Amino acid sequence: MHPFSALLAGAALALSFAAQAQEATIRKALAERIPQLEKIDEVRASPMPGLYEVRVGTDLFYSDAKGNYLIQGELIDTQARRNLTEDRIHQLTAVDFAALPIKDAIPIVRGNGKRKLAVFADPNCGYCKRFERDLQGVDNVTAYLFLYPILSPDSAEKSRNIWCAKDRAAAWQDQMLRDKPAPAASCDTSALQRNLAFGRKYKITGTPTLIFANGARVPGAIGVAELEKRLAEPSATTR
């Protein structure tokens, strides 16, 4: 091996050992002092020098190099004007479109239905109603609607009646476009519980939440122009 190459390899190995030692120090200190952080999944350097990201599942904390201080909050890059914590959580909670439990969704097809997106929505959500109205202006799309009743007990009742309707897509659109609730009905609603569990796992905390075929995730309603732009992006997966 060339002496310079050997030197580089040695430096890389030394840095690796130093990083492992740093991680071990932080893990040990936090586990001893904060029992809830006994099972840390990952410790890594954050973009801010001297600050380390501590990950437990999809929950993020920040620590100094010795684990003496712990921050629970958001890290903002003021130059780039980006919420780095939010970006990281989106990365950790990314949803593979092909892995979505489509059997628990209501497919709403317009035109040839070739373009795909998933929508997590609550029947009492005003922004969901606005998005549903905008969606009427988009053709050749299949929207997989996941009923996601998180706003009120009434949301759960309306979702149940929609899910148990003979024509689920029509019942959803009656509710969202015409303020016409579905008649009371009962059936197996375990799909709604699975939707809620899925949302908790992937930290879907607001409605609507949109997931596109290329894996892009958008929290909140978007207009027709932005929707068309997103749908035109290359898909990571197809169904």
CA 90 to chain CA centroid, nearest Å: 6
Determine the residue type at 85.
T
Residues 71-109: tens digit of each pLDDT: 999 999 999 999 999 899 888 888 889 989 999 999 999
- Of the candidate ranges 35-39, 40-44, 72-76, 78-82, the one whose mean pLDDT is the lowest: 35-39
H/E element, 69: none
Cα Dmax for the chain: 79
- Pair type for strands 106-110 and 82-83: unpaired
Using DSSP bridges, classify how beta strands 141-147 and 209-212 pair: parallel, antiparallel or unpaired: unpaired
**Contact between residue 39 and residue 54 where contact means Cβ atoms under 8 Å apart:** no
- Determine the 3-state secondary structure of 157 from DSSP: helix
Closest by Cα among 162, 200, 155, 202 to 182 = 162
Q: What pLDDT, on the 0 to 100 scale, is given for residue 160?
A: 98
pLDDT band (50, 70, 90) for residue 120: very high
**Where does the pLDDT of residue 36 fall: very low under 50, low under 70, confident under 90, or very high at 90 and above?**
confident
Amino acid at 132: E
pLDDT score of 158: 98
Confidence (pLDDT) at 12:
47
213 in Cβ contact with 97 (< 8 Å): yes
Q: In this predicted model, what pLDDT tens digit does every residue of 146-200 receive, in sequence order?
A: 999 999 999 999 999 999 999 999 999 999 999 999 999 999 999 999 999 999 9
Answer yes or no: are the C-beta atoms of 8 and 14 closer than 8 Å.
no
| Alpha helix (H) residue ranges in 145-223 | 153-163, 168-178, 190-201
Pairing of strands 115-121, 141-147: parallel
Partnered with residue 53 across adjacent β-strands are 44, 62
Neighbours of 139 (CB within 10 A): 11
Q: What is the pLDDT of residue 18?
A: 62
For residue 86, the tally of other CB atoms under 10 A from its CB is 14
Confidence of residue 234 (pLDDT cuts 50, 70, 90): confident
| Average pLDDT value over all residues in the chain | 90
What is the pLDDT confidence band of residue 14, given thresholds at 50, 70 and 90? very low
pLDDT at residue 2, rounded to an integer: 57
Of the chain, the percentage scoring pLDDT greater than 90 comes to 76
pLDDT band at 41 (very low <50, low <70, confident <90, very high): very high
